[in-house]
A and B are shown apart, each in its own frame.
Chain A
Amino acid sequence: MESVPSPEVRPPALDDGEAGGEVCAHDTVRSHSLLGFVFREERFFLLLSVFIGIFSGLAVVCFRYAIDLSHMYLLGSQIAASPARLILAPTIAGLVIGALVLHLFPLARGSGVNQTKAALYIYNGYIPFRTAVGKFITAALAIGSGYSLGPEDPSLQIGAGLASALGRRLHLSRDRMRLIAPVGAAAGLGAAFNAPISAVLFVIEEVIGRWSAAILGSVVLSAVSSVVVMRWFLGSEPLFRIPPVEMIRPSELVAYAALGVAGGFASVVFSGGIGILRPRLKAMPRWTQYFQPALAGLLIGSMGVLGAPQVMGAGYDFIDQAIHNQFTWQMLGALAGLKILATVVSFVSGTPGGMFAPTLFIGAMLGGFVAGVEHLLFPHLAISTATYAMVGMGVLFAGFLRAPMTSVFMVLEVSGNYSIILPVIVANAFAYVISRTLRPTPIFDLLTRQDGLDLPSMEEQREQSILRVEDAMRPASAPVLDADQPFERAVEQLDGSSAENLLVRLHPTGWNTISARELRTRMSEAQGQLLGSVLPLRQIPYLHPDHSLDLALRYVAGWPILPVVSRANLGKLEGTISQADILAKYREVGEEG
């Protein structure tokens, strides 16, 4: 909220002496017209967000159909598919994808989250429509043919691409164009996840990086409308059928902490695998990129043939089965490990597709595995595989994607059970801390840097310390004058003070300033008058100690000194601040850094 001017910071009123009547009237007409435009555009943008949500929702529904149909025709049901089909479908699809990505849709590679961020921070919201189309085709082919990738991040990019295209078509202003990609991203993700809150949080947490009232409404509207559209066509059933989740005893939280630790290490292995292999494969000759997806497909198909067809594709059905206790704990452990391998291979080969679904898969399997092991070790604990699988999903989300808020709300939204919140928070915290300690760079930042871009790190932004007015202000040592006092008395107060500028307290509220030189100069003409009547008719802005220095900087220019006042009593001076004070503080912090 720091970027939004606080209502307490009031800009100075226009000085009559500085503006003629004609000019002022003209300005007022222009100002009203501008305000009307801003309001109209604001309203229109909100309405547009709903349309973006609808279009993105429809696109995501078609995307889901495309994935399912390609899966149906390429793999059939992987539970019952023949070995030849399991091997050939992803391998041949990989060759096609390689050619498409290299020649037609180069921007469709990868997950889509970073590309959306790049659109926001580098390209003024520009995402080529061809990229959205390419993402749709290649990701549907990849996921449908069994690559261990998910539809969520591509949906996010498809939504952002559609929104960007619509914004361009409507000639939106540059500011709006920058905001429109995240709005579409939230819509795409919300529809793919069937979870609007998680989508909004993820976009705020990972794409935009700040809570801004200017965009929050649009993001929420688009996410909600896309989810409504998605549910219209695909039904309102949640992503997973959650069996009854038992209430957790506080003592069991220790057992969940163990899951958090396991999830933290799994996240490190997962992101480490991508971090190490991706640049090496990218550095290989260009012709190899035709075959990298096919080789990845061959490897994944082989895993399917060798007894783990569950690792192929997004894997939601198998997450559901894990939640419903349909795998032994040994199988769950094996699936978690193999899925990490399959996803790393799929992703580093440059195949378009997302990492959300595989992350949830690995988390669910790992959760079930830890539940099985803990049940063996501590049979007296009432351990529910379903609960552990759900918590496991959040754990990997927090550890691998480093989106702690989204991870908690995602589990709540998907499970529909509030009683699970404590284990989720405890386990996620462990996973997040371990992952951060062992791999300081979050996965999305790592990918960005590997691509040679310098996008802002959301994690770093979240943790940046904010400099406040209280850090730079000076104590109020100079005398404070009163507008009600006689002019002579004010001049008397100057004696013994070396201050060049003095603050004047107005009545009933407000502040003004006058220089010591001006006070002395006007001594003869102002004899017998009150100080207030001599001062120019204006109020200067005032600040509070908790305001950020960034905000203060906007208002301090033009005034030699500004008052810092108590929030409880606007007449009580806490200190003063000037532009020089703020710059000195920034310089000091910069040198320390």
Chain B
Amino acid sequence: MSPDRDPETSSSAPPKPESVESKTQDASDRTLSWYAAREPLVVLLLSATAAGLFFLVGGLSRLYQNQLESRGRTWFDRGVRDLEAGRVENAVRDFQVALTYSRDNYGYQLSLAQALVALNRTEEARTYLISLWQREPENGSVNLELARIYAANSDITGALRYYHNAIYAVWGGDAEKHQRSVRLELIRFLLDHKALNQAESELIAVGRELPDDPSLHLEIADDFMRIPDYDRALEQDQEVLEIERQNRSALSSAGRAAFELAQFPLAERYLAAAQSLNPNDAETAALLKLVKAVPDIDAYEISSRAQRDRALLAAFNTAGERLRACGDRSAKNGETNPSLEQLYSRWMDRKARLTEPALREHPEEVDTTMDLVFTIERQTSNLCGAPTGTDLLLLLIGRHHQGS
């Protein structure tokens, strides 16, 4: 061994090997009888010492844990305050510090993940949430947050998985309310992603279990309108009206649904009631005006023959205008549409011979002409978007008479 040995390993305390050797050799000589006589006593003493130390460390551990919990709680509360005040960056830091004191605290981790989501740091949030999910796969909040992250990434499969988990998850407090709220969020997500059939199924499910809450029924009605499922939307509006007869939103919405279902008298009644409650509602007023025009436009509902023929000719001309406008639009986009051209030639052919006297002479032309009008409105609606005004009315009337 070199003389300049380092104090780190050799400078002071360890005795010279020789002395240790002689000491332990002596000890070894003693051990045979020593162990034979004292082994149980030694084991007993060691056990007692271990138990005593266990209690001592247990006490220290409790003190230490309390200290950690207190510090963690302080930082967590600070994070909650920051979050409420909109200081999300600070809240993230606070929650991170809280977690350094209580690394496995579920609530702290969840709050941190939620704050990270709010900051759009979704990848970080996702890893936290996945870890939380592994600990408690049945936790509603975690599943919901994960669903939102997948939804934000337009991952429909992942989002559906976690939304459904969240719906059937364990929720604290009013579980039914949480579940309904998650289902509604899922419905919005499905509607936004044009998954209309799935959205409708979820709507039907949630619609069955709604409490007597007008705002909820209205929300559902609105979603049914987006499907579109006007029958169920109308049912939801009518539920509201049973609870609150003078609910303006419900009246307006019911009027709109009835209008879309071509139940014009019913629509007029609802819309008129809504209008009387809120005369400044321009949208309702416009719709009501349209509904009121139906008797003058729907040739099948007019008893006077002369008036019917005039209405028929007006509808025929309106459809022609719509067809021309739609054709021009297609031509402007460089598209050629044979079906539109075919319809236009049919319309032109009929226009040449369609007069009031001709109609009087050949009343069977009423049906074929109206068929052409409805076909034009339907086709142009498909190709050039939803119509407005009289065209919309003609489309709805056509659906009503021909079946949608």
Contacts and interface: CB of A to CB of B under 8 A. Distances in A.
Given A54-B50, A452-B1, A243 B43 contact: no
Contact of B128 (A110, A282, A324): A324
B8 A109 contact: yes
Nearest to A326: B124
B195 interface: no
A517 interface: no
A270 interface: no
Tell me what chain B mostly uses at the interface: helix, strand, loop, or mixed.
Answer: helix
A234 to B, nearest CB: 8
Contacts of B31: 37, 41, 171-173
Interface stretch (B59-67, B149-157, B340-348): B59-67
A79 B97 contact: yes
B304 to A, nearest CB: 73
B9 A453 contact: yes
Nearest to A73: B67
B13 A131 contact: yes
Interface string A36-71: 010011001001100100110010011001001100
Contacts of A61: 57, 61
B57 A107 contact: no
A105 B27 CA distance: 28
Nearest to A118: B9
B20 A58 contact: no
Nearest to A123: B14
Given A79-B97, A128-B13, A170 B42 contact: yes
Interface in A309-353: 317, 320, 323-326, 350
Contacts of A54: 50, 53-54
A233 B57 contact: yes
Interface residues of B, number: 61
A127 B15 CA distance: 10
Given A77-B97, A174-B25, A451-B10, A58 B30 contact: no
A69 B66 CA distance: 12
Interface in A75-124: 77, 79-80, 106-107, 109-110, 114-115, 118-119, 122-124
Contacts of B94: 80
A233 B14 contact: no
A447 B71 CA distance: 40
A65 B63 CA distance: 10
B280 interface: no
A452 B21 contact: no
B104 A109 contact: no
Contacts, number: 163
B17 A122 contact: yes
Nearest to A229: B54
Interface in A392-441: none
Residue among B6, B8, B123, B128 facing the most chain A CB atoms (10 A cut-off): B8
Nearest to A451: B6
Contact of B67 (A72, A172, A386): A72
A130 interface: yes
Interface in B1-28: 1-2, 4-15, 17, 20-21, 24-25, 27-28
Nearest to A131: B13
A452 B10 contact: yes
Contact of B53 (A55, A127, A325, A450): A55
Contacts of A244: 130, 134
Given A55-B50, A453-B9, A80 B97 contact: yes
B267 to A, nearest CB: 54
Nearest to A320: B103
B53 A171 contact: no
Nearest to B121: A326
Given A79-B96, A317-B100, A452 B25 contact: no
A119 B17 CA distance: 10
A564 interface: no
Contact of B32 (A37, A80, A386, A453): A37
A57 to B, nearest CB: 9
A237 interface: yes
A2 interface: no
B388 interface: no
A285 interface: no
B14 A171 contact: no
Nearest to B25: A174
Interface stretch (B33-41, B202-210, B227-235, B375-383): B33-41
A325 B123 contact: yes
A118 B8 CA distance: 11
B310 interface: no
A126 interface: yes
A237 B130 contact: no
Contact of B9 (A115, A243, A324, A350): A115
A47 B96 CA distance: 44
Contacts of B35: 37, 40-41, 44
A246 interface: no
B46 interface: yes
Given A54-B50, A128-B14, A106 B7 contact: yes
Contacts of B2: 452
Nearest to B134: A244
B97 A110 contact: no
What are the 6 closest A-B residue pairs judged by CB atoms, nearest first? A171-B27, A324-B127, A128-B13, A451-B6, A173-B28, A174-B24
23 contacts: A37-B35, A40-B36, A41-B35, A55-B53, A58-B54, A61-B61, A68-B68, A77-B75, A79-B100, A80-B94, A110-B8, A115-B8, A119-B14, A123-B20, A127-B14, A130-B13, A171-B28, A171-B34, A172-B31, A324-B128, A324-B131, A452-B10, A453-B6
Interface of A: 33, 37, 40-41, 44, 47-48, 51, 54-55, 58, 61-62, 65, 68-69, 72, 77, 79-80, 106-107, 109-110, 114-115, 118-119, 122-124, 126-128, 130-131, 170-174, 177, 229, 233, 235, 237, 241, 243-244, 282, 317, 320, 323-326, 350, 386, 448, 450-454
Given A79-B97, A172-B24, A229-B54, 17 more contacts: A40-B35, A40-B36, A41-B31, A54-B50, A55-B49, A58-B57, A62-B60, A69-B64, A77-B97, A124-B21, A171-B30, A174-B20, A174-B28, A317-B103, A325-B124, A451-B9, A454-B1
